[in-house]
Structure 1
Amino acid sequence: MRDHRTEQVFPPLDREAELDRLAEQMRTASGTGMQLLNLVGTRAESLLDMLPDPVRAGLDKATAAALEQSFNAAAYSRGRVKDTSDWLTRAVTIGTGAAGGVGGFPSALAELPVTTTVILRAIQGIADEHGFDPAKPEVRAACLRVFAAAGPLDDDDGTDITFITMRLTLTGGTIQGLIAKIAPRLAIPLGQKLAAQAVPIVGAAAGAATNYIYTSYYQDMARVQFGLMRLAEQEGEALETLSHDLQRRLL
């Protein structure tokens, strides 16, 4: 997966210490959603019930459309827009979230592909940061795979890490198939995001907070995934083996 343009020299990693660090990063990521739930005054499982029936029925389709638009837009931006810091990326999505929260569900739906693109672009930067070339099909697949993580409002304490080892490839015309696999998993956290943004009264504030939390979460998940991939390269171990060892640390 390496390329001479992104080849970097990394200091050797201590296998056990790195797995401990990645496990802690997953725990940190999984704890961010409580801030949002406290703001909107509801439980995660109640958020999807707040969606209007037409929005809920079209959630998978809207998620797939957002992913496809984001995949193409983020890839196009590589080489044209420099990677930014985590905080700048979060600041951008805070702004788009606030705008999306002002007009309720219509504006939140319109904002969805924009924020997804910004987050995916940040994930590509994190892949590059770990020495993986985001222009390569298998790395682009790995970037999308991050969106198959449970979501910041999930209550599994970060123990579901199957997204790391999902078998996804980008050969020929398989981009639609790839997105079709991820969209149903992503539809649940994005549905929760839409509902939180449209909470009466808090509006723009909820939109800004929602996007900050979601951006932080997927940036953390990207660092876990690509950190694990880099460790697998160094150790010459299967990603599945390292993922299993990481999972044991989260139980």
Structure 2
Amino acid sequence: MLTQADLADLQYAKTLLENPGLAARISNAVGTPIEKGLAMLPEGANEMIVTTTRKALETALDFALYTLDEEPQRSTNWLHKTFAGLSGAAGGAFGLPALAIELPVSTAIILRSIADIARSEGESIKSPEARLACLEVFALGGSAANDDAVESGYFTVRAVLAKSLAEATQYLAVHGVAQKTAPPLVRLLTQIAARFGIPVTQKAVAQSLPVVGAAGGALINTLFVDHFQNMSRGHFIVRRLERVYGTETVKLAYLKL
């Protein structure tokens, strides 16, 4: 049985994880439904977004493997949002073409924020498992059409990624230094990219609207960072409780809430 305090934490985590609402928040910010913006994307935009998303995740993987073991300067969520807002201003000013430059920067900033949140929830960020759990957060930010409606979307995503995460973790434990072309890492990044691309597309659509501009681009990027900070907080609360009570116990309690 979870304590009342831990149940309250779990309820908070579920509220964050099951009600992301990024598209609605962006639509409110720009005053236009994202769905209408999708029809305005130029030809070849989807392919460019897919390629850019994959490159951003590869950058994030390098960042996770080679810099997250450094002792961090403790920084707050608002500071990460500020840096991401500055990079988002470029996206708003120059529209879709700036995404290829801006997204890898934003993704690295978000990953640093995710790592700080993970540490605050007791993760040992030097371990391969914790580093890959940070990358896993990027898959939690968008829902897919084939999600299992019977079970929680959060645990569905984790179940889909479980095998690839285990293989990638084992690879890193054995080889230490990672090659991005290693099959376990390629499979994991491919799965994460398929879901990360959903909120990236929403962000790209919003920043490509003529009415957005630099100020709007900064606001959209701030919402984008806040979205993944929420996903991260919820994810690492669940993982913290799993270390105490076991995965199945926490999952059953989560589904009953």
Normalising by structure 2, we get a TM-score of 0.80
Distance 2:252 2:204 in 1: 33
Matched letter for residue 163 of structure 1: V
Query: How far did 1:197 drift?
Result: 1.0
Aligned residue in 2 for 1:190:
200
1:246 aligns with 2:241: no
Contact 2:84 / 2:225 at 8 angstroms: preserved in 1? yes
1:72 aligns with 2:62: yes
Distance 2:93 2:53 in 1: 21
Matched letter for residue 111 of structure 2: L
Structure 2 residue corresponding to 1:205, chosen from 208, 215, 239:
215
Distance 2:197 2:15 in 1: 26
More helix by share: 2
Distance 2:36 2:254 in 1: 30
Instruction: State how 1:5-16 maps to structure 2 within 5 Å.
Output: 14-16=5-7
Contact 2:60 / 2:135 at 8 angstroms: preserved in 1? no
Output one character per residue of 1:160-218: Cα deviation in whole Å (capped at 9) or x when no partner.
21334430132333222210111111111101111111110322122111111111111
Structure 1 residue corresponding to 2:8, chosen from 17, 20, 27:
17
Output one character per residue of 1:99-140: Cα deviation in whole Å (capped at 9) or x when no partner.
221111111231010001100111111111111122211111
Matched letter for residue 198 of structure 1: S
Structure 2 residue corresponding to 1:121, chosen from 112, 117, 128:
112
Aligned residue in 1 for 2:32:
42
Normalising by structure 1, we get a TM-score of 0.82
Unaligned 5+ runs, structure 1: 1-11
Distance 2:74 2:57 in 1: 20
Query: How far did 1:49 drift?
Result: 2.8
Structure 1 residue corresponding to 2:242, chosen from 232, 236, 240:
232
Structure 2 residue corresponding to 1:30, chosen from 13, 20, 43:
20
Contact 1:193 / 1:210 at 8 angstroms: preserved in 2? yes
How many residues matched? 231
Deviates more, 1:197-206 or 1:77-86: 77-86
1:163 aligns with 2:157: yes
Contact 1:133 / 1:139 at 8 angstroms: preserved in 2? yes
Distance 2:214 2:92 in 1: 4
Aligned residue in 2 for 1:4:
none
Identical amino acids, percent of aligned pairs: 34
Distance 1:145 1:40 in 2: 29
Query: How far did 1:36 drift?
Result: 1.9
Structure 1 residue corresponding to 2:42, chosen from 52, 56, 67:
52
Structure 2 residue corresponding to 1:176, chosen from 173, 182, 186:
186
